[in-house]
Amino acid sequence: MSGPEKKICIILNPAAKGERARNLSEKLRRHLPGCRLVLTRRPGHAQELARGLALEGVDTVVAAGGDGTVNEVVNGIVDFGVQLGILPVGTVNVFAMEMGIPADLRQASEIVLEGHVRELDVACANQRHFIQLAGVGFDAETVQATDLNFKKMVGPLSYVLAAMHVAAQKPPQLHVVCDNRREIEGCFVLVGNGRFYGGPFEFFPEADMQDGKMDVCVFKKRTHFDLLRYFQGIMSGSHTRFDDVEYLKARRIVVTADRKVPFEVDGELQGGTPVIFTVKKKLLPVLVPGLHRR
């Protein structure tokens, strides 16, 4: 259990506004009494806050939000030895799912207070750290093509429509080199630190967040038919055996392309190719459920 001397701070991304945001803040203060609570005001603010708290000497920074909030907090505290806590109050929090952290706020708060820690690998795309997943090509192009106002109106359907639009266009030619071995060509690439992507979809069945390696899926086609086939393979756990999918592990991945192709980390656009992926083994202490909860 965390003693009263332990400094815990919660960074909340108040996606909800007004009364809903106030209710959420009150719940957090009730479930984690004595913990400091700060709210983000703009994109990138969680990273600034997290870094400032790490410099202050805070022991634990808790990311209350979705995967984007977690990514910002990770980039703020990485290399400081600060513990990361997770409260999945955002729309999507795949990392919480990966760690077995429940969506119930009271139960997730108890995990923070219990203090069970796992030292996890942290991956990096160029200069941006990520904890769960990155993608080059199709998924990043889909994020890029999604209109934010339309997303607010129709929700996840906006990604589906954007994906259909991207799939109809000529795909880029990506060149992927893992650990200085042979070059693999494909249309889009996913790089995983954990198993899941986009929800309970196990893109990387062999992923281990403590092995010092990233898992890589190189997809060689991306017509509407092929994307449907890949998705069916992912649902059945057979996609890594497809002839047009390369699945491997690597400590260093270099992706170049025949044109500027966007990449994303933990669901947020970060730039374009070329991109170099690296990994730091067991760098980040993360608060996770104890064995009795699993």
Domains belonging to the chain, first-starting first, are: 8-115 (3.40.50.10330), 128-282 (2.60.200.40)
Other beta carbons less than 10 A from residue 247's beta carbon: 17
Work out whether the CA dihedral 266, 267, 268, 272 comes out positive or negative. Answer: positive
pLDDT of residue 245 exceeding 50, the answer is yes
Confidence of residue 114 (pLDDT cuts 50, 70, 90): very high
Q: Is 190 helix (H, G, I), strand (E, B) or coil?
A: strand
Task: pLDDT band for 158, please (50, 70, 90 cuts).
Answer: confident
**DSSP assignment string, 80-121:** TT-EEEEE--SS--HHHHHHT--S-HHHHHHHHHHT-EEEEE
Q: Is the pLDDT of residue 3 over 60?
A: no
Convert the pLDDT of each residue in 25-76 to its tens digit: 899 999 999 899 999 999 999 999 999 999 999 999 999 999 999 999 999 9
Question: Residue 230: enclosing H or E segment and its boundaries?
Answer: helix 224-236
Q: What is the mean pLDDT of residues 194-202?
A: 87
pLDDT of 13 higher than 90 = no
pLDDT score of 36:
94
Average pLDDT, the chain: 90
Helix (H, G, I), strand (E, B) or coil at 212: coil
Residue range 219-240: average pLDDT?
Answer: 93
**pTM to 2 decimal places:** 0.90
- Rounded CA gap, 249 and 267, in Å? 21
